Amino acid sequence: MTDLTNARVRFTIMVNRLTSQFILMLFRPLFTLNSFFMFVGKQVAWIALALMVIVILLGVFFRYVLNDPLSWPDEAARFCMLWMTALVAPSAFRSGGFVAIDTLPRVLPGRISALLNISILLISTVVLYYGMHIGWKHTMGFGGNFESSSLKVPLSLIGLETFKMKLRYMYGSLLVATFLLFLVSIELILKSVFSLFNPTKAIENTESSKWWGRD
């Protein structure tokens, strides 16, 4: 009986070890990829935020100081805001920055709480996958061919013809946001599954020493 119990314990330990190694094999490259995307996204989001502020102030100046309102600042600011949100939302999701009611997971036992967290993340992943489909349809479909009402690309400054910006460049923010959130959701699922098999051990991010992995 003791030998059978020992064999079961050894088998359980072996399964946990192999499962953990497999999860780490999937997690590490995804962690590195997401860290790179988050780093680039934050830098571009800062630029979008600065441009949004400049455009809004420019619109206010022309409207209330020069009494000659421009037609494009509102739409340009909205364009910058959409892309800024799309690029920083994955970082907020990854770091737990979204508003959440976590009373139930806190009072539940460790394994049950981890299973609940994994279930919620799986539902989120399905929703984000559907969101990617919607984003792709709007960006690459018929609606993306419509032109902005006032936002133009001033290529006349370099001797080319000026054209109105197509709405697909705005809808693309939804596609990018849902894609990056989808990748982060998979990373969080792998992290939660690892903690389920290793409740006392944090997942090892060997790639976190890279410059784009630092928060």
Helix or strand run (H / E) with residue 165 = strand 163-166
56: in domain: yes
**In the chain, % of residues over pLDDT 90:** 40
Closest CA to 93 of 188, 12, 5, 199: 188
118: in domain: yes
96: in domain: yes
**What are the tens digits of pLDDT across the range 39-54?**
999 999 999 999 999 9
Give the mean model confidence (pLDDT) for residues 8-36.
Answer: 80
Domain span including residue 72: 2-208
**What are the tens digits of pLDDT across the range 142-174?**
777 777 777 776 666 566 667 777 888 888 999
27-31, 73-77, 177-181, 203-207: the lowest-pLDDT one = 203-207
Coil vs helix vs strand at 151? strand
pLDDT of residue 6: 64
Distance of CA 209 to the CA centre of its chain: 21
6-10, 29-33, 35-39: the lowest-pLDDT one = 6-10
97: in domain: yes
**What are the tens digits of pLDDT across the range 195-204?**
877 766 666 5
Q: Does residue 85 have a pLDDT over 50?
A: yes
Q: Does residue 5 have a pLDDT over 70?
A: no
Closest CA to 71 of 145, 149, 147: 149
Number of domains in the chain: 1
Buried b / exposed e over 112-134, threshold 16 CB at 10 Å, is ebbbebbebbeebbeebeebbee
pTM: 0.85
Helix or strand run (H / E) with residue 191 = helix 168-197
151: in domain: yes
120: in domain: yes
State both tokens at 206: 């060997």
